[in-house]
Amino acid sequence: MRRNFVFFLVVAFFWAFIAKGKAEILKFRLSAVNLPSKDYGGLIDPYVKAYSKSDTRSYTKFGESQIVHNTRNPVWDEVFQFRYVRGKNQKLKFIVKDWDLGWNEDDTLGRVEIKVNDMVKALRRKNGKGGILGTPIKLYLASPRGGVLYFVPVS
């Protein structure tokens, strides 16, 4: 009986160790609403840059959307992919910019940083049965402007 219990503890520890480092590919799309206007006439040409960070490393760019012209409520068609490792301290950062013609630097409309573990837990809690597809996550953009960025998991 005691041997079975010890065996069970060893197997449970080993399984927890393997499950912690298991990698998955997160696929998602992005959209935004109520982006602030920096251009004359009220419409902007937004695009988004996606960055990731693990542990203490600096952020690395892993994606950028196409520009959507003349809107404050863009829906980007790109499907972004990110390698998520359960239990690892990973973060995502999204920077929404307004494309400007000519030599002007593109304006930053807003940015947001999120912890991937927290986001995946929230998605699984919302959607049940361990799945992460379904309801988008609303991310409020800050610094310097505002608006809302939607993170939409896809298959």
Digit-coded pLDDT (tens) for 23-61:
889 999 999 999 998 777 788 999 999 999 988 789 999
Could you tell me if residue 9 is inside a domain?
no
Range in 84-88, 110-114, 126-130 the model is least confident about: 126-130
Residue type, 9: L
Could you tell me if residue 16 is inside a domain?
no
Could you tell me if residue 18 is inside a domain?
no
Could you tell me if residue 29 is inside a domain?
yes
Question: pTM of this prediction?
Answer: 0.80
Could you tell me if residue 87 is inside a domain?
yes
Contact at 8 Å (CB) between 63 and 69? no
Look at the chain and report how many structural domains it folds into: 1
- State how far the Cα of 153 lies from the Cα of 60, in Å rounded to an integer: 21
Tokens of 95: 């920077």
Q: What is the dihedral of CA 103, 92, 138, 48, to 10 degrees?
A: 20
Q: Distances from the Cα of 152 to the Cαs of 53, 67, 68, 133, 147, in angstroms? A: 20, 18, 18, 8, 16
Please check the confidence at residue 12 and state whether its pLDDT lies above 70.
no
Domain containing 68: what range?
Answer: 23-153
> Would you place residue 127 in the very low, low, confident or very high pLDDT band (cuts 50, 70, 90)?
low
What is the dihedral sign for C-alpha 44, 49, 50, 51? negative
Could you tell me if residue 17 is inside a domain?
no
Tokens of 40: 């004359």
What integer pLDDT is reported at residue 59 of this predicted model?
Answer: 95
Number of helical H runs and strand E runs in the chain: 2, 8
* Cα R_g (the chain), whole angstroms: 20
Could you tell me if residue 56 is inside a domain?
yes
CATH code assigned at 46: 2.60.40.150
Q: Higher pLDDT residue, 48 or 14? A: 48
Tokens of 150: 């939607």
CA angle 92, 136, 115 (to 5 degrees): 25
Could you tell me if residue 7 is inside a domain?
no
